[in-house]
A and B are shown apart, each in its own frame.
Chain A
Amino acid sequence: MSAPILSVQDLRVYYYTEAGAVKAVDGVTLDVARGMKMGLVGESGCGKSTMAMAFMRLIKPPGRIESGQVVLDGTDLVPLSEDRMRRVRLNEISLIPQGAMNSLNPVARVRKQIIDGIQDHNGRFSRAELNDRVEEVLEAVDLRPEVADMFPHELSGGMKQRVCVAIAISMRPKVIIADEPTSALDVVVQRQVMETIQRLQQELGISMILIGHDMGLMAQSIEHLAVMYSGRLAELAEVNAIFEEPLHPYTQLLISTLPVLGAKGVFRGIPGITPSLLSPPPGCLFHPRCPQAQEICQHKVPTWQEIRPGRWVACHKYEV
């Protein structure tokens, strides 16, 4: 097993507000192998978008990376200077942020936006080389070359999102993070965009981290799945294993809430609400809602460990 392309060690990201420190990410450890498709699933507010921003070193005050390491292909990104980090972004690790299609510059043509991205992070190309690259990436995401000279408002939602994907792969990074890339799209367009991303990922050998809340989309698109809850990881394993045998009670509940063809009209929810990240409960964060909580869960934080090869859990039920 070769070294992982991205190795996150005990990452903590806190937001300092007037009311105190909000622990958005509180001790996350995970490895992403080369060419791997990893999913990060969790409810709104669990810290997954913050994680994506932390990987890109885009956390702004009042938030900051409190401690931990984000090692990309041997280099820890956390202590890098902003100058060096800018050269890492887009070239080695890139992000398709949430609602990306709405942040395309409305008064710039697609061509210019792709070129801007490349020039900002890697200014060594000639005009001809840049235009070539624009054509290349548009073709890679199945968009006609004419799209390069169009404005964002002339494109449909799916096309805009594919432009964002094109920008993200323009420098052939090693890792792509896609934060809810299809959240505002119709089912058919969603499928098209996801299939495009998957095909690209395969062709270019890029490692992908897909962030979202839809287990269905995860099941279709990734191979390894990490489940996040309130700033910490609950479980990490191959996606088949998670669906067949979910270990963490939260994962079990998550899966049980999903609609399944055949079991019509059966609705299950997860009782209770997510804890405040400002004053989290002691011990395991999930214990107030956990149907299998024990005495120890109320005061001792469970350790994140690999209990079997390829299966990571943070739960007292499985503590070795």
Chain B
Amino acid sequence: MAQAASAIRYLRRNGRLLVGIILLLILFLFAFVGRLFVDGNDAYPLSAPANLAPTLEYPFGTDSQGRDLLAVGVMGTYLTTKIGVVAGSLGLGFGTILGFLAAYYGGVLDTVVRWVVDVLLTIPSLLVLVVIASTFQGGIDVNGMALVVALLAWMWPARVIRSQVLTMKQRAFVRVAQLSGSSNLEIIFKELMPNLLPFLGASLVGSVTGAIFASLGLEALGLGPMREPTLGMTIYWVMYYGAFVRGMWWWIMNPIVIIVILFVGLFLVSAGLDELANPRLRRRV
């Protein structure tokens, strides 16, 4: 209970973190609570009369394929966030493990990992993703999407975690652990990992953001799950049906507003976590 109280007190001082969390919370409620009130099926074509501006019955309007845009908004938020979280977590998880092993054991393993990571990082990831995604020719589903994005999300975390571990490896408490008879794996998981948790938390936010961004890019190009109403796919249909020319502002604003709130929220949380992890950034007393 005392921990919750001090957490709330801290949030009051860390404005960015607070606002960021609030924004994300709004979207979270929108997506999850929304699913209780809105029928998911309405997010698919032929659920409603097409091209309607917002009315009482359809508060977000409908699109050219007859989707209820309120349902689309709710489902889209849920699906895109899911892709982002799954891909971001997978990428971070895999990258972390690889980074840890490479840094701690050094030698051949380190050289190989470093080489692979450096080479892959120089290749523009979007190109690779386009190539991979286009082999599925639109037949991909949401989970497949997450996996595709995760494929290129692990390299940066691997590199960063590796350098963090390299510095930590030199610290005296690692030597003490060795003298205490701890095995290498125990040192990695029990001594080094806990110290990296704040860093990993912040990296997760960055990883998720990057994954969402990548998924939006792929979907807008038409390489995403064509049947699903993700945010990126909505953008694709907006462009496909020329919504700009037809002045269908309700359709255009739908994904854009959500995306803006999502990214601003993620950014603020990331900046807030930065301030949390780095006491020197704390401004107020």
Residues of A bordering B, CB below 8 Å: 16-18, 61-62
Contacts and interface: CB of A to CB of B under 8 A. Distances in A.
B119 interface: no
Contacts of A17: 285
Interface string B75-110: 000000000000000000000000000000000000
B13 to A, nearest CB: 9
Contacts of B9: 18
The 6 closest A-B pairs by CB, nearest first: A62-B285, A16-B285, A61-B285, A17-B285, A18-B285, A18-B9
Nearest to B9: A18
A315 to B, nearest CB: 35
Nearest to B13: A18
A18 B5 CA distance: 14
Interface string B253-285: 000000000000000000000000000000001
A16 B9 CA distance: 16
6 contacts: A16-B285, A17-B285, A18-B9, A18-B285, A61-B285, A62-B285
Contacts of A16: 285
B207 to A, nearest CB: 32
A220 B17 CA distance: 53
A18 B285 CA distance: 7
A62 B9 CA distance: 17
A138 B236 CA distance: 68
A62 B283 CA distance: 9
A235 B244 CA distance: 82
Nearest to A64: B285
A7 to B, nearest CB: 30
A266 to B, nearest CB: 31
A16 B285 CA distance: 7
A21 to B, nearest CB: 10
Contacts of A61: 285
A19 B41 CA distance: 54
Contacts of A62: 285
A17 B9 CA distance: 14
A120 B9 CA distance: 40
Contacts of B285: 16-18, 61-62
A62 B13 CA distance: 14
A61 B285 CA distance: 7
B280 to A, nearest CB: 10
A16 to B, nearest CB: 5
Nearest to B282: A62
Contacts of A18: 9, 285
Interface string B9-45: 1000000000000000000000000000000000000
A302 B285 CA distance: 32
A239 B9 CA distance: 50
Nearest to A62: B285
B110 to A, nearest CB: 25
B10 to A, nearest CB: 9
B129 to A, nearest CB: 38
A223 B278 CA distance: 42
A300 to B, nearest CB: 32
B259 to A, nearest CB: 37
A61 B283 CA distance: 9
B223 to A, nearest CB: 45
A61 B9 CA distance: 19
A25 to B, nearest CB: 18
A17 B285 CA distance: 6
A8 B222 CA distance: 74
A16 B284 CA distance: 10
A282 B138 CA distance: 77
Nearest to A63: B285
A304 B141 CA distance: 80
Nearest to B285: A62
A55 to B, nearest CB: 23
A107 B104 CA distance: 29
Nearest to A16: B285
A271 B9 CA distance: 38
A61 B282 CA distance: 10
A278 to B, nearest CB: 14
A44 B285 CA distance: 24
B279 to A, nearest CB: 11
B5 to A, nearest CB: 12
A18 B284 CA distance: 10
A62 B279 CA distance: 12
B241 to A, nearest CB: 56
Nearest to A17: B285
Interface string B206-246: 00000000000000000000000000000000000000000
A4 B103 CA distance: 58
Nearest to B10: A18
A131 B131 CA distance: 61
A102 B137 CA distance: 58
A245 B285 CA distance: 44
B9 to A, nearest CB: 8
A17 B284 CA distance: 10
